[in-house]
Chains A and B, each alone.
Chain A
């Protein structure tokens, strides 16, 4: 694990320029559900053509290459600070190679750092695990969908949402209604129930790493995911908010413990350009993968 920088650049390139297989399949299925000639069908055609083109040209699927969120699982004894430094170097290099847009803006001065590095950027989560494999998962989350992500505090009187799973259902539907097409619908929802305001948002984003086709091991949450997927699509907002049959193509829910006084529901809205990629370092070998490959 001495010099992994080039592998890290490749991880960023893949995440930015190649959509994972499960997402592309979901977008194709969504296109097939719309009436030919409709604005919704046209939007899906453009989306799918864009995905093909981005892959072929090795150019970003979306120009908003977003916040880079890294989840690093490392074996005992790994040099975490060195790993982080190499990841940061790789992010700057990927920006220089136009795989990423310079996206880190100093909030006080308004100056763009030019290389995607800055206070709190990129985002790193480091966890030691039993395995001797180094695993790095990367999610690119754009600003449009981050702006429509939101957090509720139950009970919510206006939505008649109590402190139970039906209350969760109601506020999630409201979040999707409020977002309309602005988060680049159709989206994937990562939802966290519980936690505090900070951990709730982080856990909601972690749900976005789950494969679209998986089933929640908790049967109650699994049922809620299925119902919300159906009901979100009944809203009819459609791709880009043009109106259509697919508004959301995945709902993933996790539950944390909470304080007796607090009941937060955090909704991480992910745009259709749901960009995630994985790198595993096994000995000297670098193995890249994306969901549904």
Chain B
């Protein structure tokens, strides 16, 4: 287990060097996206023959922002400052597994190098991480004020009116955002290891083993 300081955008080599259990401090620009955002990205940009004209400019923005960057599964508490700019007040991760039906396609389509969230993800995402050189980074669930302090700037927000504050795409610049690699680009997942070990204990305690 090592500790790395990495600056976004990440290269494939940056990500391939990481293994489960490593601690990483992330710096750079990333985009929040959760349930509504994933459904939207996949339906509007990926599983489609043509991106509607009305969504074309956001598509171009997201392509530029996400290449080599990350999607952060987060629905923040925000505050509007004088002059109209936004600030993050509380910004811990949300449960990632809900995005399992979408994430592999998002990683491939946008060239993500990582996904940040909590609770881990499933086999499709793990396979996409292996194939395309990405990793799953676990933020500490509930550590919302701590992580908000690592968010130095809200660069932009998209779809706030349509999706609501928690579900919008918030483009944020972070400094030293602390995460742990729990699924790496080599097919390893702490989540499946812990699940398998706890399953054996459960069988013993319940008497079904």
B116 within 8 A of partner (CB):
no
Given A98-B77, A100-B77, A237-B198: A180 and B119 interface contact (C-beta under 8 Å): yes
Beta-carbon contact of B75 and A111 below 8 Å: no
Beta-carbon contact of B141 and A177 below 8 Å: no
What's the minimum C-beta distance from A161 to chain B, rounded to whole angstroms? 8
Beta-carbon contact of B119 and A46 below 8 Å: no
Given A160-B206, A160-B207: A63 and B144 interface contact (C-beta under 8 Å): yes
Contacts of B118 on A, CB cut-off 8 Å? 144, 181-182, 184, 240
Interface residues in B99-140 by Cβ distance below 8 A to A read 118-120, 138, 140
Beta-carbon contact of A237 and B141 below 8 Å: no
Interface residues in B38-88 by Cβ distance below 8 A to A read 74-79
Given A100-B77, A242-B182: A53 and B146 interface contact (C-beta under 8 Å): yes
B143 within 8 A of partner (CB):
yes
Looking at the complex, which one of B91, B182, B191 makes contact with A63 (CB distance below 8 Å)? B91
Given A160-B208, A181-B119, A181-B120: A59 and B141 interface contact (C-beta under 8 Å): no
At the interface, is chain A mostly helix, strand, loop or mixed?
Answer: loop
Contacts of B142 on A, CB cut-off 8 Å? 47, 50, 61-62, 64, 142, 184, 271-273
Beta-carbon contact of A170 and B206 below 8 Å: yes
Beta-carbon contact of B146 and A243 below 8 Å: no
Beta-carbon contact of A243 and B94 below 8 Å: no
Q: How far, in whole Å, are A240 and B207 apart by their CA atoms in the complex?
A: 26
Contacts of A235 on B, CB cut-off 8 Å? 198, 201-202, 205
Contacts of A234 on B, CB cut-off 8 Å? 201, 205
Q: How far, in whole Å, are A103 and B167 apart by their CA atoms in the complex?
A: 10
Beta-carbon contact of B164 and A112 below 8 Å: yes
B190 within 8 A of partner (CB):
yes
Contacts of A50 on B, CB cut-off 8 Å? 140, 142-147
Beta-carbon contact of B145 and A54 below 8 Å: yes
Q: How far, in whole Å, are A37 and B22 apart by their CA atoms in the complex?
A: 11
Q: How many A-B residue pairs have CB under 8 A?
A: 178
Contacts of B95 on A, CB cut-off 8 Å? 143-144, 147, 182
Contacts of A49 on B, CB cut-off 8 Å? 143, 146
Contacts of A110 on B, CB cut-off 8 Å? 36
Beta-carbon contact of B141 and A60 below 8 Å: no
A292 within 8 A of partner (CB):
no
Q: How far, in whole Å, are A47 and B94 apart by their CA atoms in the complex?
A: 15
Given A39-B180, A235-B198: A65 and B77 interface contact (C-beta under 8 Å): yes
What's the minimum C-beta distance from A28 to chain B, rounded to whole angstroms? 15
What's the minimum C-beta distance from B115 to chain A, rounded to whole angstroms? 15
The residue in chain B whose Cβ has the minimal distance to the Cβ of A104 is: B164
Beta-carbon contact of B191 and A180 below 8 Å: yes
Q: How far, in whole Å, are A234 and B203 apart by their CA atoms in the complex?
A: 12
A-B contact pairs, 8 of them (CB 8 A): A39-B1, A43-B180, A61-B145, A64-B75, A101-B166, A112-B166, A235-B205, A243-B194
- What residues make up the interface of B, taking CB atoms closer than 8 Å to A? 1, 21, 23, 36, 74-79, 89-92, 94-95, 97, 118-120, 138, 140-149, 163-167, 178, 180, 182, 190-191, 193-195, 197-199, 201-202, 205-208
Q: A39-B1, A63-B89 are in contact. List 10 more A-B contacts (CB 8 A).
A: A39-B21, A49-B143, A60-B144, A63-B77, A143-B95, A159-B208, A170-B207, A177-B199, A236-B197, A240-B141
